């Protein structure tokens, strides 16, 4: 039997949170930091998200940020290209699945 098991992430999307009104700086900074850390963790594994938007970011009730929907992500082959930043020609498509790169505080 084959199965794909995904984490159920409780909370609201960043898109929903933004729709409620401005986010105070003291609340926004930890969110921004966690998004950057999640993307860095993906980039460290040569994964480029390619669909980062507020609807693909969830904030759990305890403030943990999860970057969702890596369905359009690509693997960077930039290391083979002399360490240059990834470009459209230097990416390979990942399998179509959600991968969670969210990090805890």
Active site residues: 51
Task: Quote the Cα angle for 6-10-65, to 5°.
Answer: 90
Count the neighbouring beta carbons within 10 Å of the beta carbon of residue 10: 12
Interatomic CA distance for residues 38 and 48, integer angstroms: 11
């Amino acid at each position: 039997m084959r199965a794909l098991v995904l984490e159920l992430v409780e909370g609201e999307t960043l898109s929903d949170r933004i729709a409620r009104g401005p986010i105070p700086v003291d609340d926004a900074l930890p969110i921004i930091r966690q998004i950057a850390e999640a993307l860095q963790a993906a980039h460290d594994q040569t994964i480029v998200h390619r669909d980062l938007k507020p609807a693909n970011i969830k904030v759990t009730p305890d403030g943990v940020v999860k970057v969702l929907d890596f369905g359009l992500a690509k693997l960077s082959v930039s290391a083979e290209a002399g360490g240059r930043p990834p470009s459209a020609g230097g990416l390979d498509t990942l399998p179509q699945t959600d991968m969670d790169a969210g990090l805890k505080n």
